[in-house]
Amino acid sequence: MGDGRLTLTTVDTGRVPPLLALAALVVTFLVTRGITRMIRAGRGPFRNVSPGGMHIHHVVPGVVLMVIGGFGAIFVEGGVVAESVAAVVFGVGTGLVLDEFALIVHLHDVYWSEQGRASVEVTVLTVVVVGMVLIGSSPFDMDDRGGPQEQGVLLWAVNIVVGTLIAVVAFAKGKFRMGVLGVVIPLVGAVSAIRLARPRSPWAHRFYASRPHKLARATRRAARHDARWSGLRTRFENAIAGAPSRPRQQDRDGDGGGDQDGGRDGDGPPPPPA
């Protein structure tokens, strides 16, 4: 601006669709959780969708929207505007699907149970990883010039293999969150892969069974870690997604209160609010 003229920075339009998809995912997840918490508490105009007595989980329209948005992004030829529309549709669908990720894993309704916390954790991890990629981090520490032509085939292959092995070891040691973050921050994955495994992990079962002293160390370390962080993580998850139900309450809760005949649809006394 030394000559008195305003200089505008060129906007990288290539980042607009993924940014909109991420924003749509976050907004959809938060709005969906807000609606289901209102259904659970018996407040507001919302009710479970149960045509013919069969409860339709919102993962169903989520999958439909993901298919439409995903194929739309592949075949669309309308520039950044059309790509952005497809990205928003995909982001909304992804938010609905991830909000019921635990349902997909367990193959039954665990929305308001302890197992349902998996949906919140996976959604948060997805947002963090995608957000970090958008601000410049790359999987396995590879930048925009990280292809085999620029790096050399050998170095490129070594990066992929080492990064994958680190993530696999972290997962085997029962450190799912750190393993996922390690994909975009290799140092995090490396530290998780080097340190002791969780006591109930596949790694501990395979390598610590004949080494009781190491299993004891892993158990003590896991206990200290959980005592330090579990309470904070639980409060955070409860704040954004609602607290899990007590066992006797689960059959009364909304969207997910049962696959076919359980969900709360407005009749009967409401359970305590989340």
What is the distance between the alpha carbons of residues 97 and 103, in angstroms, rounded to a whole number? 9
Residue 91 has pLDDT above 70, yes or no: yes
What is the distance between the alpha carbons of residues 12 and 114, in angstroms, rounded to a whole number? 42
Q: Which residue has the higher pLDDT, 257 or 202?
A: 202
* Structure confidence at residue 35 (pLDDT): 95
Query: Where does the pLDDT of residue 78 fall: very low under 50, low under 70, confident under 90, or very high at 90 and above?
Result: confident
Q: Which residue has the higher pLDDT, 52 or 173?
A: 173
Query: Where does the pLDDT of residue 215 fall: very low under 50, low under 70, confident under 90, or very high at 90 and above?
Result: very high
Per-residue pLDDT reduced to its tens digit, 159-184 = 788 888 998 999 999 998 898 888 88
Answer yes or no: are the C-beta atoms of 100 and 111 closer than 8 Å: yes
Residue 148 has pLDDT above 90, yes or no: no
Angle at 51 between CA 56 and CA 44, to 5 degrees: 75
Answer yes or no: are the C-beta atoms of 44 and 254 closer than 8 Å: no
* Structure confidence at residue 161 (pLDDT): 86
The reported pTM is 0.76
Answer yes or no: are the C-beta atoms of 125 and 177 closer than 8 Å: yes
What is the distance between the alpha carbons of residues 145 and 147, in angstroms, rounded to a whole number? 6
* Structure confidence at residue 79 (pLDDT): 84
What is the distance between the alpha carbons of residues 100 and 45, in angstroms, rounded to a whole number? 22
* Structure confidence at residue 157 (pLDDT): 79
Query: Where does the pLDDT of residue 110 fall: very low under 50, low under 70, confident under 90, or very high at 90 and above?
Result: very high
Per-residue pLDDT reduced to its tens digit, 13-48 = 778 999 999 999 999 999 999 999 999 988 889 888
Answer yes or no: are the C-beta atoms of 189 and 166 closer than 8 Å: yes
Per-residue pLDDT reduced to its tens digit, 248-274 = 555 555 555 544 333 433 333 344 444
* Structure confidence at residue 269 (pLDDT): 39
Average pLDDT, the chain: 83
* Structure confidence at residue 245 (pLDDT): 81
* Structure confidence at residue 162 (pLDDT): 86
For the segment 89-105, the average pLDDT, to the nearest whole number, is 96
Answer yes or no: are the C-beta atoms of 23 and 68 closer than 8 Å: no
For the segment 49-61, the average pLDDT, to the nearest whole number, is 89
Query: Where does the pLDDT of residue 133 fall: very low under 50, low under 70, confident under 90, or very high at 90 and above?
Result: confident
